[in-house]
Amino acid sequence: MSSALDAVLQNPAVWRGGDCARVVLPSVPTGFPELDVLLPGGGWPAGALTEIHVERPGAGELHLAMPAAARLTRSGRWLALIAPPYVPYAPAFVAHGVQLSRLLLVRTTSAEDTLWACEQALRSQTCGAALAWLDRIHERALRRLQFAAESGGASMLLYRSSRVSPVSTAALRLHVCKSQGRTLVRILKRRGGGLPEPIALDLHSATRTRNRPFPFPPSIAPTRWKPPFPCSTSRPVPPLV
Amino acid sequence: MLWLALRFPALPLEIFSRGAAAPGLLAVAASSDAHAELVACNRKAHDRGVRTGMAVAAASALAADLRVLTRDPALERAALERIASWAIQFTSAVSIASAAEVLLEIEGSLKLFGGLSRLWSRIEQELDLLGYAVSMACAPTPFAAQLFTRSGLPVRIQHNDALCVSLAQLPVDVLDLSSESNALLHDIGARTIGACLKLPRSGLARRLDRELLDKLDRALGHIPDPRLAFVPPANFTATLQLPSPVAEAAALLFAARRVLAELTGFLAATGKGAQRLCFRLAHEGLQDTCINLDLSTATRDLEHLTAVLRERLGRLALPSPAIAITLECKLLLPLAARNLTLLPDAREQAETIARLVERLRARLGKDTVQGLDTVADYRPEYAWRTAEPGARDHGTWLPLSRPLWILHVPRRLEEIGDLPQHEGQLTLLAGPERIESGWWDGNDVGREYFVARSPAQSLLWIFRELRAGGGWYLHGYFS
């Protein structure tokens, strides 16, 4: 009985409400298998707009894009960072495997310029993906970005705050926040329908390797240590008394 | 041999009118005198009753808003030379035949350009882009081709037999003979070239000296008719007079596109690409406005140059309306034509990224579009720098945990009881990592870095200052 049911369910014409429809979409794997299985096409949609809503920096929202960025830049495509809110720290990008010679950093002074730069980058056919930070954006402008991404076949990742309108033309919308030290990714909208449970990713495990008892007691906080001679290297903390 | 003659019947007018999409009523007079005759007028003026041959005063009486310009043979000659330079992209044998005629020997180019009709329509379209109306004719001898364009017949004759038949039907006026000869031919009833050809040669030679016979023989190819080949200049400079002062970016771009089209034709003809362009906008009584376009790679792509210029013009504030545009090409570099490939290759990609960077920089400014690179330095703020996009990166990094975002300037954190605060009390997760470096260049730092978690669960990169002042600072986000 169950095998008969399985056979029916294998039929691609059958769609179950809780599932994401199995659609073949050009996409770039995110590098997180747990996330990939939830996304139609199995990754960041190429030639489409993705919105990532995040309340405050430090939730791992940029980290989410890094494996795909590394893959794109290693394959010779360009990655455009448009209007980043802080300085993209080059050593960290290298550590994530991003090839810096394929990185284009664009700083703008107005939202209008940001949108224009996004459109240019998406339409240029050389950029594999564009990451932009823009909060206030008109619905019509979103649609323009979507068209530009379609025409250039590039992925557009738009970072926005989570206080924005619930309706959007984006192909994929994610909400990223932190919970219990893990990054919680909630899918707000995806092509193919269905809203899965949020998934937790352990992105910052590397930063916790040298754990200390916390909260850090100020009493044993290291005192100033003066090298006996001018010292030009960063050295591990000397034994403290 | 196959000759294509291009005749520009409205050249005296077009050198002024082609700078505007919809110029008003325009006419060109032979001199600045009020009694001078008009030599050309545009369609709008013609519709109001203005005709060539009219006195300026009479034409002004008919149309009060008529703008009468004085004919400038030097400008016409310069325009014709630029057309000839542009035409060298189609054939190497180009010659300026008269004040408004250019001849192209195209037999060797037919195969490359896909046949006569394709070449014909391409030349027509590109001349339209330059802003010139043209009458064209094609014949085995240069003089015959000229005669057909003068009579306005767009014939495409490729064989000598057909040439005789078609030539016979032309009126004798197109031969441009002296008035006595014309009168004599009129008296004996020879109105067409065919009628002249039937007359006995010896008699014609006796009565009309050699003038008529020479011309007929040259037209039919019986005697050689060598033409002086045009040699293009080494540099490109073009001036476009605007029919009326222009201040809007869109109108300026329209005019600039005319000269850019001339430039790209010239570049294609000489096998070069432009890397540095200088547009000078002339104003009345003020100093010229200069727009310099510095491109990262040499190009002769009209659409790309237009796109870059559009962004520059959009940001430009003119002190007063422009009356003329001069385009000067400062740096010409050899640029081979590209082979057609099915799949884009690395070189093509490098070219497109250079174009994207140029477009972005044209609007946003040079310093706002950059690449990134790492520097081997322990101090976090000195471990990165901006670089030219696409430059080889050093890719050095240390196996240390570093945040993806850092702040340009570390932000001082509040402290409560020696503990750093950021939207509440911070929890230290990892550290300390001590960085003491930079005593040699005056930017000495002594810090202890920690990874901290805020009550809102954001991961921060903070440090404690070990030097004078002390205190906690926020330096980055593990985003």
Asked if the model's pLDDT at residue A233 lies above 60, the reply is no
From the CA of B359, how many Å to the nearest CA of chain A?
Answer: 8
Of the partner residues B391, B432, B457, the one whose CB lies closest to the CB of residue A178:
B457
Q: How far apart are CA B374 and CA A108, in angstroms?
A: 23
SS3 B37: strand
Alpha-carbon torsion (A37, A43, A45, A50), positive or negative: positive
Q: Using alpha carbons, select from B275, B273, B286, B288 the residue that is nearest to residue B239.
A: B288
- For residues B83-102, one letter each, b for 16 or more C-beta atoms within 10 angstroms of the residue's C-beta and e for the rest, the string is bbbbbbbbbebbbbbeebbb
The pLDDT mean for chain A works out to: 78
Q: First and final CA of chain B: distance in angstroms?
A: 72
Per-residue pLDDT band at B77 (split at 50, 70, 90): very high
**Pairwise CA distance, residues B281 & B218, whole Å:** 46
Looking at residue A144, what is its pLDDT? 87
| Residues of chain B neighbouring A233 (CB-CB closer than 8 A) | 378, 437
- Verify whether the Cβ–Cβ distance B428 to A211 is below 8 Å: no
Under the banding of pLDDT at 50, 70 and 90, the label for residue A221 is very low
* Predicted pLDDT at A24: 61
Average the pLDDT over each of A3-7, B171-175, B251-255, B451-455 and give the range with the smallest value.
A3-7
Which of A177-191, B116-130, B177-191, B324-338 has the weakest average pLDDT? B324-338
Tens digits of residue pLDDT in B229-288:
999 888 889 988 888 888 888 888 999 999 999 999 999 888 888 888 899 999 888 888
Cα–Cα distance between B193 and B19 in angstroms, integer?
40
Residue A234 has pLDDT above 60, yes or no: no
Across B327-343, average pLDDT? 71
**What does the pLDDT read at residue A88?**
93
Residue A197 confidence (pLDDT): 84
Angle, helix B179-187 to helix B201-208, in steps of 10 degrees: 140
pLDDT in tens, A37-77: 888 888 898 889 999 999 888 888 899 999 999 999 988 88
Distances (CA, A) of B440 to A56, B409, B436: 38, 21, 12
Whether the predicted pLDDT of B178 surpasses 80: yes
How far is A75 from chain B, CA to nearest CA, in Å? 11
The predicted pLDDT at position A208 comes to 45
A141 touches A118 (CB < 8 A): no
Crossing angle (nearest 10°) for helices B249-270 and B302-315: 150
Q: What is the pLDDT of residue B364?
A: 87
Beta bridge partners of A217: none
Residues 6+ apart with CB under 8 A from B442: none
Residue B256: HSE in the Cβ half-sphere, 13 Å Cα cutoff: 30
Question: How far is the alpha carbon of A34 from chain B, nearest alpha carbon, in Å?
Answer: 19
* Shortest Cα–Cα distance, A192 to chain B (Å): 29
Q: What is the pLDDT of residue A229?
A: 45
* CB neighbour burial string for A147-178, b if at least 16 within 10 angstroms, e if fewer: ebbbebebbbbbbbeeeeeeebbbbbbbbbbb
Q: Searching chain A, which residue's CA lies closest to the CA of residue B403?
A: A92
pLDDT above 60 (res A238): no
Nearest CA in chain B to A118: B360
Q: What is the pLDDT of residue B346?
A: 61
Q: Specify the pLDDT at position A124.
A: 85
Question: Inter-chain contact B433–A86, Cβ cutoff 8 Å?
Answer: no
Average pLDDT over residues B5-9: 93
Six-digit token string for A196: 């899965």
Mean of pLDDT values over A198-221: 55
Query: Can you tell me the distance from the alpha carbon of B104 to that of B94, in angstroms, rounded to the nearest whole number?
Result: 5
| Mean pLDDT value of segment B339-349 | 59
Residue A21: band (very low, low, confident or very high) from pLDDT cuts 50, 70, 90: low
**Mean pLDDT estimate for chain B:** 87
Contact A237 B432 (CB under 8 A): yes
* pLDDT per position as a tens digit, B460-473: 999 998 887 888 99
Given a cut of 50, whether residue A209 has pLDDT beyond it is: no
Bridge partner list, A103: A79
If pLDDT is split at 50, 70 and 90, which confidence band does B145 have? very high
Q: Please tell me which of the candidates B346, B404, B433 has its beta carbon nearest to residue A88.
A: B404
Q: Out of A91-95, B361-365, B391-395, give the one with best mean pLDDT.
A: A91-95
CB contact under 8 A, B477 and A215: no
Other residues' Cβ atoms within 10 Å of the Cβ of residue B467: 11
Average pLDDT over residues A222-231: 43
ipTM: 0.76
Residue B467 DSSP label: S
Which residue bears the tokens 């073949």? A24
List, edge to edge, every strand of the sheet that includes B101-105.
B94-98, B101-105, B3-7, B135-139
Given a cut of 70, whether residue B341 has pLDDT beyond it is no
CB contact under 8 A, B363 and A116: yes
Say if residues B356 and B311 touch (Cβ distance below 8 Å).
no
- B417: which chain A residues are within 8 Å (Cβ-Cβ)? 218
A237 and B374: CB-CB below 8 Å? Answer: no
Weakest-pLDDT range from A137-146, B96-105, B150-159, B388-397: B388-397
% of chain B exceeding 70 in pLDDT? 95
Average the pLDDT over B122-134 and give the result.
92
B314 vs chain A: nearest CA distance in angstroms? 13
Nearest-by-Cβ selection for A104 from B389, B446, B458: B389
User: Is A208 within 8 Å of B356 when comparing Cβ atoms?
Assistant: no
- Say whether pLDDT at A220 is over 60: no
SS3 A223: coil
pLDDT computed for residue B135 by the predictor: 93
| For residues B443-467, average pLDDT | 88
Residues of A within 8 A of B385 (CB-CB) are 90
Cis-peptide into B432, omega within 30 deg: yes
User: Could you give the 3-state DSSP secondary structure of residue B194?
Assistant: helix
The chain A residue lying nearest B459, using CA atoms, is A58
| Distance, CA of B327 to CA of B353 (rounded, Å) | 26
Q: Least CB-CB distance to B402: which of A78, A84, A95?
A: A95
Q: Do the chains contact at A212 and B385, CB–CB below 8 Å?
A: no
State the pLDDT confidence band at B94, using cuts at 50, 70 and 90: very high
Listed range (A191-200, B13-22, B199-208) with the worst mean pLDDT: A191-200
Q: Is the pLDDT of residue A116 over 70?
A: yes
CA distance A238 to chain B (A): 9
Question: Chain B contacts of A232, Cβ < 8 Å?
Answer: 437, 439-440
CB contact under 8 A, B357 and A230: no
Pick from A89, A107, A204: CB nearest B402 = A89
**Model pTM?**
0.64
Q: Which residues from A are below 8 Å from B448, CB to CB?
A: 222, 237
Residues of A in Cβ contact (< 8 Å) with B373? 90, 100
**pLDDT score recorded for residue A227:** 41
pLDDT, mean of residues B56-83: 89
Mean pLDDT of A197-220: 56
Mean pLDDT over B395-424 rounds to 84
pLDDT of residue A240: 46
Q: B20-48: per-residue pLDDT in tens?
A: 888 788 888 888 877 888 888 888 888 88
Look at residue A223 in the predicted model and tell me its pLDDT.
44
Distance (Å) from the alpha carbon of A176 to chain B's nearest alpha carbon: 11
